[in-house]
Amino acid sequence: MSKLKQIRELQNLTQEELSANSGISVRTIQRIESGVIPKGHTLKALTKALNVAENELSGVSVKTEDIRVEENHVQVEELSAHIDYQRLKLINLSSILFVILPPLNILVPFILSRLLRQNNLLLKQIISLQILWTVLAPIFFILGILLKLGHSFTIVLIAAIALSNVFLILANLAELDRNKKLRFRLKFSVI
């Protein structure tokens, strides 16, 4: 198994997700996972997307089962050392305080991520999800108003929109706590 495939699977990414995050084609990722050693721009883009050092991807595939298991264990420790899940959960939960003030539900987690020195794929997904929700919420609100179903419907719509974001945040928080991954992930990253 290639190092790229090991790291990609440890981070629960598909080839398509890695392609979207790195800008490298799925076909190139498949070639690297089948044994081609990445170089130059491809190596840099993949290491940046996976948040690993270049020398971790530039080596050859692992041959023996014992080395693969030991290397897999070391990589899991290295990847979890880069991600502080407690801080990540705090950053995710900070969005819930500003569900009613949509620009702050993005700004506060972003500032908190810088203060807590967190910069990883999961964090980018959390903030990207908040950006997407902030863009879609007014669209749904305007569409609801255009339906002209009355004032009580408008109040229910506002509550439903706010509660949908609370649900996204809490579901991701629970999944981070249980499985150290996000329940709701986007196929792209806005930041």
CATH value of 3-82 in 3.30.930.10, 1.10.260.40, 1.10.10.10, 3.40.720.10: 1.10.260.40
**φ/ψ bin of 12: left (φ > 0), alpha (ψ from -120 to 50), beta (otherwise):** left
Percent of the chain surpassing pLDDT 90: 41
- Secondary structure of 87-128 as H, E, C letters: HHHHHHHHHHHHCCCCCHHHHHHHHHHHHCCCCCHHHHHHHH
Determine which of 1-10, 59-68, 174-183 has the lowest per-residue pLDDT on average.
Answer: 59-68
Average pLDDT over residues 44-65: 72
72-123 pLDDT, tens per residue? Answer: 444 444 444 467 889 999 999 999 988 888 889 999 999 999 998 888 888 8
Task: Please say if the pLDDT value at position 6 is more than 90.
Answer: no
Task: Please say if the pLDDT value at position 63 is more than 70.
Answer: no
pTM: 0.57
Task: Please say if the pLDDT value at position 61 is more than 50.
Answer: no
Please report, for the chain, the start and end positions of each structural domain, with discontinuous segments joined by +.
3-82, 85-179
130 near 105, Cβ under 8 Å? yes
Q: Quick one: angle between helices 3-10 and 40-50, nearest 10?
A: 20
